[in-house]
Amino acid sequence: MPAPQNSDISPNVPFSKRWLVIQEAKLQLWLAGPLIAVSLLQYSLQVTAVMFVGHLGELELSSASMASSFANVTGFSVLLGMGSALETLCGQAYGAKQYHMLGVHMQKAMLILLAVSIPLSLIWFYTSDILMALHQDHEISAEAGTFNRWMIPSLFAFSLLQCLNRFLQTQNNVFPMMITSGVTAFLHIAVCWGLIFKSGLRNKGAALAISISHWLNVVLVASYVLFSPACKKTWTGFSKQASHDIFSFVKLAISSAVMLCLEYWCFEMVVLLSGLLPNPKLETSVLSISLNTCWMVYTISVGLGSAIRGCGWQNLCVAINFIAYYAVGIPTAVVFAFVLHIGGMGLWMGIICGLVVQLTALVVVNLRTDWNKEVSSGHVLRFTLLIAFCPCLIQFLISGNEGCQSCSEYHLSHRRYDLGNLMRQIKAIFSSVFDRNVLS
């Protein structure tokens, strides 16, 4: 069935389900594509630096790998999770047309994440002592500690960058983020080459290069926010409101961080466990390269997840992930690697067992789900959100009035659609979903 044209749409014309799926997929990819690119490009900063360090020797590679894993567990993943709370707060403010509140929420998040970065930086400062206390190789631990000390400035830059990214993302203004991340990743190659090989800093130069590149990205994105007309309504300058209701944001940020960190920490723990194997330099290097490759793929789902919000199964997914990784994956990895003496391959086998459990559980959940009911619920949810954010829709459904021009400009300034046509589509979708004209 061909896609209906604008002039053909009426409340009594049902849509092809296939056409609706295609249109939804196009919209999601349009939003998710740049976010996927941003995730890949920003994560590539660490990967690129470690790749350069790999040319220095086995000790340098294993220590940089250990340091990066430790930094991800104790720093970057925490800030990434806490920063995701802005998606909720800024999204609500933008939908309610409280544009200035996006800037207020961003300032509040910056203050909190910068404050959190201080104790995290202390943890990084004592990386070598902590790793030695965990019975890691002393030589690797000492080098990893030096690496993380030189990377401490990146922690504060990463805090600001997460807030700026969420600020733009909730406005569907994602292409500037992609451009600035691309420029940063390109320049990062030259910075790594100069600091690692030409300056004589070696692996310390790699850590410094990561810090410099993160700060460069912050400067580029912040300059766009400050001077771009696209952010004129959402950024109105510094405000004292940012210091209000701090506790509510912290509570939301902590819950967001816990959900994200559960999955991150499991994979990074494998690198830490590899340091306890008989040949820690080789095992850590191999495991790190494998996991870095794995995480490059995983960032695609991170970007996609920023654009898609599912059926409200977050709590169920957290429970599944916890059981799969921490009740099955890590214990099985320990048994394979240290009890059955399979080594690094055993660690991977344990993670694979956890992934199989996760996959099986998610497949079972999907098979037992009444998707017809979920589709109907999904349309009801979208309809509810539209009513909440667009009073003109209620007017249209009652009187047939196609809404005001200001509302049209607000909702659809980034799409070439007519508001009245969109409303007729919504009415037609409801009629076809419920198999009756419920809105007549």
**How do the domains of the chain map onto residue ranges?**
21-309, 370-433
Are 79 and 162 in contact by the 8 Å Cβ rule? The answer is: yes
Measured at the CA of 308, the angle between CA 44 and CA 179, to 5 degrees, comes to: 40
pTM of the model: 0.73
Distance, in Å, from the CA atom of 50 to the CA atom of 30, rounded to the nearest integer, reads: 32
Instruction: Check residue 387 and give its pLDDT.
Output: 42
CA atoms within 13 A on the CB side of 71: 28
Q: Which stretches in the chain have pLDDT values below 70? A: 1-17, 20-21, 24-25, 27-28, 31, 288, 292-315, 371-440
Which residues are CB-contacts of 213 (< 8 A; sequence separation ≥ 6)?
45, 184, 185, 187, 188, 191
For the stretch 255-297, pLDDT in tens is 778 777 877 788 777 877 887 888 777 777 777 677 766 666 6
Instruction: Check residue 255 and give its pLDDT.
Output: 76
Which residues are CB-contacts of 28 (< 8 A; sequence separation ≥ 6)?
304, 307, 308
What's the whole-number average pLDDT of the chain?
77
Instruction: Check residue 222 and give its pLDDT.
Output: 96
